[in-house]
Structure 1
Amino acid sequence: MNPKKVALITGAAGGIGSATASALAEEGFLLSLIDTDAERLAQLNEEWQKHTQTLLLVGDLAEAPFLQHIVKTTVDTWGHIDVLINNAAWRTLESLRTMQLETWERTLKVCLTAPAFLTKWVAENMEQQGRSGVIVNVSSVMAHRPSGMGSAYIAAKGGLESLTQETATTYGRSGIRVVGIAPGLVETPLSRDYKNDEGNDISQKLIDEMTDFVPLGRGASPQEIAEVIRWVISDSAAYITGTTLPIDGGFHFNFNKYSIKKLQLPNEF
């Protein structure tokens, strides 16, 4: 059995996923990396393989057989799993007024069902082998600050935070920690795909609006989120489980925009 630690990361070709893979590659983790984008995953893998060994798995997390394939292939390849990072996401921008059942179901499958059953099967393997481990669920501040434009995504992320609490309770006595993180504005491709009804890109306008609420005055880089994940799975965070940590520059607790604060107290903001 390989003595090195093994991490399984979904959505590994995206912003947070790839930054996390890079951070853990530097730590010497053996990596199982999952995404739908085979080309992007292969490109990024050239850098990861300078630091560690990798297993690339391309497929759709909405398909239950692929979820089982991920866990089985990872265990067959590396012998065990120490860390699972449920990072992958999928969503559309539409309210419940126009949402179709197909869209709703796919969002929940990728963002909630896949994390639930990957957790189930990874934790099962950890328990069978008598190994402790860490499962990280990537939620979003939108679970608590909804926009009205992503009903399925909001529901899935809210459910993921409840799932984090439930599974931390379920597996805690087996030495398995389950921790959520809830990023706010992060500079990833997912934050750059906003368009209006005419098809015009309005991403920067929305980013500027959201940044106006952030006490630190900027969005996060994917690397900053990855560093929190690196810490969460380390022994330094050994007494943290069941909670979801907001990583949002203070966005979730701030009441009004800084442009409004300046109107009210121009000499203080």
Structure 2
Amino acid sequence: MSHSYVVTGGGRGIGRAVVERLRGDANHVVVIERDPSALAWTHARPRVIAVVGDAADEAVTEQAADLAQAAGTLAGWVNNAAVFSPASLDLPSAREVLDLIASNLGPAVVGCMTAIRRFLDAGTGGAIVNVSSHQAQRPVRGSLPYATAKAATEGLTRSLAVDYGAHGIRVNAVALGSIATERYEAFLRRQEPAAVTRIEQEMSLLHPVGRVGRPEEVAATIAYLLSDGASFISGATIPLDGGRSVLGRDPEEA
């Protein structure tokens, strides 16, 4: 029987690239996506199964797990669903801040719990990859809910790796730098040419490799972490940021 995977937030951008990579020649991939319009492409992809719903809803993740296990041996789960909502403590109430944190942390927690229950019940082990961000360590202004949720996601990753490693379950995270998704490209298209040039120059300075990342580069790393080739990697957060997290921009540089 072939392997199957679940990818949350898999309708667009990085999530879609991960789905395409994992599907390969024989695997089945279940995609969880809130926006039905983002799933139209799945109809033309054999072995891709779409589930419309909120990845923080256990009923939705359980449905996805059922479909994945009906299609093959559930081998991996990718928690990619996320929302970026700018906020700081001087604007909304504390309750609103907590809700914004939960909107990003919730899908990771629910996805991990669902996957681990299924791995344990099947006795097969499995792998989970949580998608984090460089902002978990170096937040930008206004990113308080997002950066807090991503930092918690990395803590969740380490804790689950410790708790369930003896059961053959590996849990890792990837901390992304800037990636050229559809959202990023659409943002550039809304700018004046001079602004686009300035933004691209700034991005090249932020990332030592001289550019932003590509969704397929993220997908390749996630696919590796889910594979048997990464069988001794667990509890790790892999910087997938072109060196952004280790760059020290300083006046001495000049």
> Does the 8 Å CA contact 1:62/1:106 hold for their aligned counterparts?
no
Q: Does 1:85 align with 2:78?
A: yes
Q: Does 1:59 align with 2:57?
A: no
Q: Does 95-104 or 151-160 show the bigger shift?
A: 95-104
Residue 126 of structure 1, CA deviation: 1.0
SS in 1 for 2:74: coil
| One-letter identity of the residue aligned with 1:19 | A
CA RMSD of aligned residues (A): 2.5
Q: Does 1:116 align with 2:106?
A: no
CA offset digits 1:123-178 (Å, max 9, x no partner): 11111111021000000011111112111100000000000000001110000100
1:187 & 1:260 partners in 2: Cα distance?
30
> Does the 8 Å CA contact 1:67/1:114 hold for their aligned counterparts?
no
SS in 2 for 1:12: coil
CA offset digits 1:94-113 (Å, max 9, x no partner): 32322455653443334212
| One-letter identity of the residue aligned with 1:158 | A
> Does the 8 Å CA contact 1:8/1:31 hold for their aligned counterparts?
yes
1:145 & 1:127 partners in 2: Cα distance?
35
Q: Does 1:97 align with 2:90?
A: yes
Residue among 17, 20, 23 paired with 2:18:
20
**Which 5+ residue runs of structure 2 have no aligned equivalent?**
none
Q: Does 1:255 align with 2:251?
A: no
| One-letter identity of the residue aligned with 2:3 | K
Aligned to 1:267: none
**Which 5+ residue runs of structure 1 have no aligned equivalent?**
265-269
SS in 2 for 1:127: helix
The 5 Å alignment of 1:1-269 reads 3-46=1-44, 48-49=45-46, 53-75=47-69, 77-78=70-71, 80-100=73-93, 103-191=96-184, 204=196, 205-206=198-199, 208-256=201-249, 261=253, 264=254
Cα 1:105–1:64, aligned 2, differ >3 Å: closer, same or farther?
farther
Residue 55 of structure 1, CA deviation: 1.5
Aligned length: 250
CA offset digits 1:206-233 (Å, max 9, x no partner): 5542331211100011001101111111
> Does the 8 Å CA contact 1:61/1:109 hold for their aligned counterparts?
no
- What is the percent sequence identity of the aligned residues? 28
2:224 & 2:72 partners in 1: Cα distance?
24
> What TM-score do the two structures reach when normalised by structure 1?
0.83
2:235 & 2:12 partners in 1: Cα distance?
25
